[in-house]
Structure 1
Amino acid sequence: MTAHVAVVGGSLAGLRTAEQLRAAGHTGPVTVFGAERHLPYNRPPLSKELLYAPGAASPGELHAKVAFRRRASVADVTFRLGTPVVAADLPGGRLSLQDGSSVAYDGLVAATGLRPRRLELPGPHAGRHVLRTLEDCVALRGGLRPGAAVVVLGAGFIGCEVAATALRLGCRVTVVEPGGGPMQRVLGARLADGIRRHHEAAGITFVIGRSAARFLGEGSVTGVGLDDGSTLAAEAVVEAVGSVPNTEWLAGNGSLDLSDGVLCDNRLMARGAERLVAAGDIARFPNPLFDDVPRRVEHWSIPTDTAKRAAATLTEALTGAGAGPGDRVPFAPVPSFWSDQLDLRFQSFGSPALADEVRVEEGDPDRPADGVLATCHRRSAHVGTIAVNLPPARQRELRAAFTTLPAAV
């Protein structure tokens, strides 16, 4: 087929969708549009290995360490990098680019992912960091000098990973979290409390139940003012307070629901649009493994899983063919992610954040380095598994067991 497919988003989801379009039999032109000037690369090392890397490496040097290998199947795919798509005319099948040009397409993939949420607070901007791109990593690394006071706002997984890396670099690290213990939304209160004590024993300070109210300093940040009137000294501040889906370029197409990513059906076709699919953590879709509620999933496994289904769905739409045998099966991926912090490795399967109860099945939460297994339940149905410092073979068993569970409805 000769239809032109435009993939908007040049990260993992965009790359995997291009690969899966070829695997699904699409032989026409494919163009991947990326806002960054780098070819697709692996982001998890940004808060760990790359952030810890010595020297003032450039983004290009870091990219060489984490760039994804391009498979032969996408050798003829065009990558247009560093020129974001700013608007889409879905009825007309045309994209508008930031450089003023426009491009026609026959099929469209939304894979623009997320950006870090920023705090709208008074005070200077210099010295405030987020972590999403190679450039972010280089900028933050420059502020992580031995002895520097570093304040991390947010105790989710990214915030805790950055805190652990900064501590390894010799910084004095304080984590501020208004909502409870570190990673509590996923780990539950009991395990989160044990992780907090483990990290505190290593040297990280936690301020729980408080939030930032303002940034102090003239020209550059020198501290953070909290909502109780207290202050924390800070030579660098990391804002790790969540993400925002990059959907603005789809605005103006009134039939789309962009209230939280792109609302899709179970086959990842956008609701209210033809020949538009979504892939990666911008896609909001129902997963029958849990229930029929559409949700976005920000786990590392999701770009690859959604790319395969989205590519098959779009290829069928462009050819007019019905769903293939594999695509009549409900799309029910098992989300998974991992996190490395100090001497701890976390592995998660399913959607622990949906749980209303977390049960510690093995180990002692107060000694997480010795290994802990927790299961996450919603109305008694198993919706997630958390492993801390369990061996790889045991983790594989847990994942296999999870995929056999009935839908948790």
Structure 2
Amino acid sequence: MSATAPRIVVVGAGLAGLRVCERLRAAGHDGPITVFGDEEHPPYNRPPLSKELLRGTTTVDKLAFKQRPATEDVTWLLGTPVTAVDLTRREVTLADGSSAAYDGLVVATGVRARRLSLDGEPGTRHTIRTIEDAQRVARNLTAGTRVVVIGAGFIGCEVAATAVGLGCDVTVVEPLSAPLERAVGVEVGREVQRRHEVRGVRFALGRTVTAVIDAGEHLEIELDRGSRIPADVVIEAVGSQANTEPLAGQGLDLSNGVLCDAGLHPLRDGRAVLDVVVVGDVARFPVHGFGELPLRVEHWTMPTDMAAHAAASLLAGIAGGRADEAGFAPLPTFWSEQYGVRMQSFGVPSQGLDDVRVLEGTLGEEAAVGYHRDGRLVGVVLIGMARRMVDFRTAVSDARLTELAELAPIDATVAAG
């Protein structure tokens, strides 16, 4: 290890932090890398928390990502939260008041579960974001347990499917008219609802929770218009909140994660901070070919897609330059598994909710559903149909290439692959 190589600090010990460490080493950085993480656990896989860990079909040890030889010399300081970042002094402050200097900084702070502002004791309501969250919930998911899930997004639907599969009595409360409505639209959302209902899950749609009341031996979920649902376990699955607090007061746009440029550098008073990159769920950055507004993309694959570009951008920025940004155009991809059926998406379906078409198959069985903006394909959701995954992923990529070629022909290659 070179004694004169830049010191890099990574704030966040999740998947994004791990992947950037790997790519920094692959890019030739042989200087010290120190990772600070809030949790006591090394980087682990979060999607199984709402499925396999709740069901008891996996263990905590199996969730941990395998450490690669290239990062064995990285210093991991787990259970060591960073409370503040000073971009001018180039240092981070830790919870114990000590500080650590850096030459290059990776912000990979991720998100936390959003909580509702409700009457009643917050401790009676669970979330699913960490290993400890899932373990607490799993201990209570036994046959006959009355479970109320607040929120019918992907986490809420996965938890509901897991709980009913364990014999629980499950009700999902959702203020919109269908599960997953914001992500995949009403038509697909209602098909998801049907699949849950045939297995016994009940939905209270178009309703909001006003209070969670401790009624002694059980809880009462009070809804708008006054009705109540009895519950033994209450799980909030109402989205996420970006962990931006350590960056407060630094002149950054933290209104929805950290606003970045195409190099994943945060923008300070409109100018890129070249010795810092932001990676993972907390980053809001331009996603070429999917509108003009920067997006925050909370998909499991995104940290891996971003890591190589972030590493190149950071090393170039430390040296006072900029990396080539032309080839950075990750394709947003997500999946969810419910009742043994995999739902997979490519692109940004939420940008095409006004023009949704079944491209192949039928919703009641297997289907490919296309989402269009101004007549152009911007996303595809597959219900099953794994054999057609590559074809529809290519279709979304090709549609993006066409749009970029029309908008800026010289930059069309950014969307290739």
Give TM-score, length-normalised by structure 2. Answer: 0.91
Q: How does 1:265-280 map to 2 (within 5 A)?
A: 265-272=261-268, 273-280=273-280
Deviation track 1:13-65 (CA, whole Å, cap 9, x = no partner) reads 000011111112211101111100000000000000111007xxxxxx93311
Question: Does the 8 Å contact 2:347/2:379 carry over to 1?
Answer: yes
Q: How does 1:244-323 map to 2 (within 5 A)?
A: 244-253=241-250, 255-272=251-268, 273-323=273-323
Question: Does the 8 Å contact 2:113/2:237 carry over to 1?
Answer: yes
In 2, Cα distance between equivalents of 1:384 and 1:354: 8
In 2, Cα distance between equivalents of 1:186 and 1:252: 33
SS at match of 1:179: coil
In 1, Cα distance between equivalents of 2:370 and 2:222: 38
Q: Alpha-carbon deviation of 1:275?
A: 0.8
AA of the residue aligned to 1:403: S
Match of 1:51 among 50, 54, 68: 54
Deviation track 1:96-151 (CA, whole Å, cap 9, x = no partner) reads 10122110111111100000000110012333100000000001111212101000
Other-structure match for 2:395: 401
AA of the residue aligned to 2:284: R
Match of 1:160 among 157, 160, 180: 157
SS at match of 1:202: coil
Question: Does the 8 Å contact 1:128/1:239 carry over to 2?
Answer: yes
CA 1:221/1:351 → structure 2, altered by over 3 Å: closer, same or farther?
farther
Q: How does 1:133-282 map to 2 (within 5 A)?
A: 133-217=130-214, 222-253=219-250, 255-272=251-268, 273-282=273-282
In 2, Cα distance between equivalents of 1:104 and 1:115: 26
Q: Alpha-carbon deviation of 1:199?
A: 1.0
Deviates more, 1:34-43 or 1:266-275: 266-275
SS at match of 1:161: helix
AA of the residue aligned to 1:404: D
SS at match of 2:204: strand
AA of the residue aligned to 2:196: H
Q: Alpha-carbon deviation of 1:345?
A: 1.1
In 2, Cα distance between equivalents of 1:221 and 1:259: 38
Deviation track 1:305-353 (CA, whole Å, cap 9, x = no partner) reads 1111111100111123553xxx341421101111011132101111111
Deviates more, 1:338-347 or 1:237-246: 338-347
Question: Does the 8 Å contact 2:274/2:314 carry over to 1?
Answer: no
Question: Does the 8 Å contact 1:181/1:196 carry over to 2?
Answer: yes
Question: Does the 8 Å contact 2:274/2:318 carry over to 1?
Answer: no
Other-structure match for 1:364: 362
CA 1:252/1:199 → structure 2, altered by over 3 Å: closer, same or farther?
same
AA of the residue aligned to 1:359: R
Other-structure match for 1:57: none
In 1, Cα distance between equivalents of 2:60 and 2:25: 25
Question: Does the 8 Å contact 2:83/2:93 carry over to 1?
Answer: yes
Other-structure match for 1:91: 88
Deviates more, 1:6-15 or 1:283-292: 283-292
In 2, Cα distance between equivalents of 1:322 and 1:252: 25
Q: CA RMSD in A?
A: 1.6
Deviates more, 1:327-336 or 1:307-316: 327-336
SS at match of 2:235: strand
AA of the residue aligned to 1:362: E
Give TM-score, length-normalised by structure 1. Answer: 0.93
AA of the residue aligned to 1:302: M
Aligned identity (percent) is 49
- The count of aligned residue pairs is 395
SS at match of 1:223: strand
Deviation track 1:213-263 (CA, whole Å, cap 9, x = no partner) reads 00111578612000110000110011000100000001111x211111111
Match of 2:375 among 356, 375, 380: 380
Match of 2:15 among 4, 12, 17: 12
Runs of 4+ off more than 6 Å: none
AA of the residue aligned to 2:339: L
In 1, Cα distance between equivalents of 2:64 and 2:305: 20
Match of 1:337 among 334, 338, 357: 334
Q: Alpha-carbon deviation of 1:401?
A: 2.7
In 2, Cα distance between equivalents of 1:333 and 1:30: 26
Match of 1:41 among 35, 39, 44: 44
Higher RCO, Cα 8 Å, sep 6+: 1
Deviates more, 1:348-357 or 1:222-231: 348-357
CA 1:328/1:225 → structure 2, altered by over 3 Å: closer, same or farther?
closer
In 2, Cα distance between equivalents of 1:249 and 1:14: 16
Structure 2: 5+ residue stretches without partners = 408-417
Question: Does the 8 Å contact 1:38/1:63 carry over to 2?
Answer: no
